[in-house]
Chains A and B, each alone.
Chain A
Amino acid sequence: MSTEPDATVLDANAIAGLLAEVFAGAEMTSASRACQSCGQRRAIGEHRLYRGAGLVLRCPACNDIAMIMVEGDGWREVRTAGFWSLRVPGPAAA
């Protein structure tokens, strides 16, 4: 299915602060995700951001859903799809 160019679409960099809040302070735009549909691994920051009733992130290679976020009064709910890779500090080897 072909699509119209959309001048308003953003990428996940625009919600980097929100993602950091949701993921307990982690910097998420440089996390990567292997898409469940096309297998491509891309940075979350490259994923396209759509604002519908909630927020949607889509794979930059195949457009498949990477994340849906819904925000209510005093809560946020996140659903992720695909394999998200996030590297965080841990104890060094002895």
Chain B
Amino acid sequence: MAAAAPARIVWKMATVVELVEETAHARTLVLDVPDWPGHVAGQHLDVRLTADDGYQAERSYSVASPPEDDRVALTIERIDDGEVSPYLAGELEVGDRFEVRGPIGGHFTWRAAEGGPILLVAGGSGLVPLMAMLRHRARQGSHADARLLVSARALDALLYREELMRLDDARDGLSITYTLTRDRPERWTGYARRVDAEMLEAVGPAVANMPRVFVCGPTPFVESVADHLVALGHDAAAIHTERFGPTGG
């Protein structure tokens, strides 16, 4: 593991070049970041906003775009009484600017060259960094055994829904399983409950294949999934977790 160049920890001014409405509650910001050094799937940006009275708020957002893209994308879920997300996923317009620092992170990252098998478990907006990994995997033409288990409240809350379906159809060694915990369409035949040990075991890969596992989402989700994985026999050292806090946004 190489030490990051100090330039990555300097705050820079990013410009919003495009906005993409993902769902009713989530929006992707496409940014132009000066001297962007490139990133590794799973890394994040620290974002800093300054109000005109000097008040500052800082948050971290996972990079949604793969390293192969020129521009950097963040997907922000709007938390109702949040301080920052209603601004970033609401008020913000193309042409606006805010400070970013990064890319940051090294523990919760995956490069296609590392191969599989990998198990990705996403709760809500925890899907963002895992999507960067899957987009990277597709762009690299990797056929590494990869399984994604996504938990969402409902189908209309699921991020990147159409793109996930396309990735799933590619038949390149990726399988995607959904569980909808609150609302589901009438003819839904998929899982309809919180992620548990039985579901994780069914999704696989088998413990004996020693997959690397990446779990991301709200803290209670991550804690529960990680506990189930360890109980199933997965090596704790092979489980990488990233907690997004109580609401996961």
Is any CB of A less than 8 Å from a CB of B in the complex?
yes
Chain A binding surface, main DSSP class: loop
Interchain CA distance A24-B3 in the complex, whole Å: 9
Interchain CA distance A14-B1 in the complex, whole Å: 19
B3 close to A44 (CB less than 8 A)? no
B172 located at the interface, meaning its Cβ lies under 8 Å from any Cβ of chain A in the complex: no
A14 contacts across to B, CB distance below 8 A: 60, 243
What's the count of A-B pairs with C-beta under 8 Å?
A: 99
B5 close to A25 (CB less than 8 A)? yes
A9 close to B243 (CB less than 8 A)? yes
Interchain CA distance A31-B243 in the complex, whole Å: 18
Interface string of A51-80 (1 = CB under 8 A from B): 000000000110000000000000000000
Closest to B43 in A: A16
A25 close to B6 (CB less than 8 A)? yes
A11 close to B242 (CB less than 8 A)? yes
CB distance from A35 to the nearest CB of B (A): 13
A46 close to B245 (CB less than 8 A)? no
8 nearest A-B residue pairs (beta carbon): A45-B107, A30-B106, A29-B107, A25-B6, A27-B106, A7-B246, A17-B46, A26-B3
